[in-house]
């Protein structure tokens, strides 16, 4: 059976869960559901989801009419929320996998403790630029791993991530030559360095899987947002970005990940528009590809019961725009657009 996977950052999803929803909230709920009903993903990974098992259950009931249901760490007989701390999420924006009810018995959510065991630690040391004393860092939002049974004794692992650089609220200052300076620069660099180490930790997990399984079927999907001034910081200060850290080295082709949108038209390969105060670009002129689906080579060359063929990935512009006609910033479904990929049967 073909499988469609979709990633969607649903802007502040927790704000949709109130006892007496306003007309604006009901309108937004409708737009989200209708968008998903048109896209019809089998597996949906969301970012900015509500925090905790109880609230994601409520989200699926109140917003999605249980057309998609969450895959939880909860075990039979346990109350909802008993394992909330095990997800190891900080803040109130969580990563969740939602699936069509008919696929639930083929899905299992892996505990983050397994991830930490495989990579060797929950925290790691980070040396910020020019500093000789290390700091300890860990995932702000721990990656979530969905194990999906594809038959013939094989499974694929779908890794859901939300890697977002902390935004500095300090004023943007420049010297006489126009170069960034001051606290904004310092805080932005620190945030990006820490985030890049989170991406490297994801790659560490990927490397472990290649040592455990022949031809592993791995998918990394989620919101990877380096932050404002993406070219400014990456070109002048850091010389790397999030996706490069996760995707791997193209010279080691066996472990290099293909991007689901590599053959999607360039002018359509964007998933959000945000104003960039560092580069001075208004929102309307700043399309960004922040939402990604990365695929291991075994899924692309036919080593598994499911295969990713040419032109399998897309940004769901049509569905997003159709169901946001007449919306404003308060009623639109989200500030991000869904990104999808189709996996076909491999006979």
Joined together, the tokens standing for residue 343 give 């996996």
CA distance 202 to 123: 13
Q: How far is CA 298 from CA 44, 154, 213, 284, in A?
A: 22, 12, 11, 39
Instruction: Quote the CA–CA distance of 315 and 338 in Å, as a whole number.
Output: 6
Q: Which residues contact 166 (CB under 8 A, 6 or more apart)?
A: 187, 191, 195, 227
Report the C-alpha gap between 138 and 10 in whole angstroms. Answer: 24
- Higher-confidence residue of 255 and 205: namely 205
Using pLDDT thresholds of 50, 70 and 90, give the confidence band for residue 8: very high
Res 239: pLDDT: 47
CB 227 within 8 A of CB 192: yes
Name which of 6-15, 43-52, 105-114, 239-248 the model is least confident about.
239-248
pLDDT in tens, 201-248: 999 999 999 999 999 999 999 998 755 545 555 555 554 567 777 887
The residue segments making up the domain with residue 305 are 3-345
**Model confidence at 152, in pLDDT bands (50, 70, 90)?**
confident
**Nearest-angstrom CA–CA distance, 146 and 205:** 14
SS3 label, residue 311: coil
Length of the chain: 347
CB 34 within 8 A of CB 70: no
For the chain, the domain total comes to 1
Please tell me the distance from the alpha carbon of residue 4 to that of residue 306, in angstroms, as a whole number: 11
Q: pLDDT tens for residues 70-127?
A: 999 999 999 999 999 999 999 999 999 999 999 999 999 999 999 999 999 999 888 8
- Residue 327: which CATH number? 3.60.10.10
Asked whether the predicted pLDDT for residue 165 surpasses 70, the reply is no
Check residue 251 and give its pLDDT.
56
Query: Backbone phi, then psi, for 320, in 5-degree steps?
Result: -60, -50
Please give the structure tokens belonging to residue 167: 């935004």
When pLDDT is averaged across residues 277-289 and rounded to a whole number, the result is 82
Q: How confident is the model at residue 194 (pLDDT cuts 50, 70, 90)?
A: confident
Is-above-0.85 flag for pTM?
A: yes
Contacts of residue 310, Cβ cutoff 8 Å, sequence gap at least 6: 263
Q: Which of 337, 284, 287 is nearest to 313 (CA)?
A: 337
Q: Which residue has the higher pLDDT, 136 or 144?
A: 144
Mean pLDDT of the chain: 90
Question: Alpha helices, DSSP H only, in 81-144?
Answer: 112-119
Taking 80 as the threshold, does the pLDDT of residue 147 lie above it? yes
d(CA 271, CA 225): 11
């Amino acid at each position: 059976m073909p499988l469609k996977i979709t990633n969607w950052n649903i802007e502040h999803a927790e704000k949709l869960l109130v006892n007496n929803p306003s007309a604006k909230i009901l309108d937004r709920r409708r737009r989200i559901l209708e968008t998903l009903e048109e896209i019809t993903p089998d597996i949906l990974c969301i970012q900015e989801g509500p925090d905790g098992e109880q609230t994601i259950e409520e989200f699926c009931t109140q917003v999605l009419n249980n057309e998609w249901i969450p895959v939880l760490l909860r075990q039979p007989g346990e109350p909802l929320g008993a394992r909330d701390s095990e997800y190891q999420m900080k803040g109130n924006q969580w990563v969740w996998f939602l699936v069509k009810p008919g696929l639930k018995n083929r899905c299992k959510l892996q505990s983050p403790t397994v991830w930490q065991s495989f990579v060797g630690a929950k925290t790691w040391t980070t040396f910020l630029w020019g500093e000789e004393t290390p700091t300890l860092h860990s995932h702000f939002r721990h990656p979530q791993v969905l194990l999906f049974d594809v038959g013939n004794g094989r499974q694929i692992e779908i890794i859901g991530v939300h890697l977002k650089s902390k935004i500095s609220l300090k004023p943007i200052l420049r010297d006489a030559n126009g170069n960034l300076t001051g606290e904004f620069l310092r805080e932005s660099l620190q945030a990006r360095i820490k985030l890049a180490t989170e991406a490297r930790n994801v790659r560490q997990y990927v490397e472990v899987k290649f040592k455990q399984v022949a031809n592993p079927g791995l998918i990394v999907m989620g919101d990877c947002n380096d932050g404002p001034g993406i070219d400014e910081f990456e070109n002048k200060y850091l010389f790397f970005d999030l996706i490069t850290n996760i995707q791997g080295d193209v010279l080691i082709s066996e472990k290099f990940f293909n991007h689901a949108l590599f053959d999607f038209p360039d002018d359509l390969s964007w998933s959000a528009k945000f104003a960039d105060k560092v580069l001075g670009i208004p929102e309307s002129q700043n399309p960004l590809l922040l939402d990604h689906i990365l695929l291991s080579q075994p899924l692309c060359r036919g080593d598994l019961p499911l295969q990713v063929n040419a032109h399998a990935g897309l940004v769901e512009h049509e569905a997003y725009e159709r169901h946001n006609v007449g919306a404003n910033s308060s009623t639109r479904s989200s500030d991000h657009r869904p990104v999808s990929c189709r996996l076909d049967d491999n006979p």
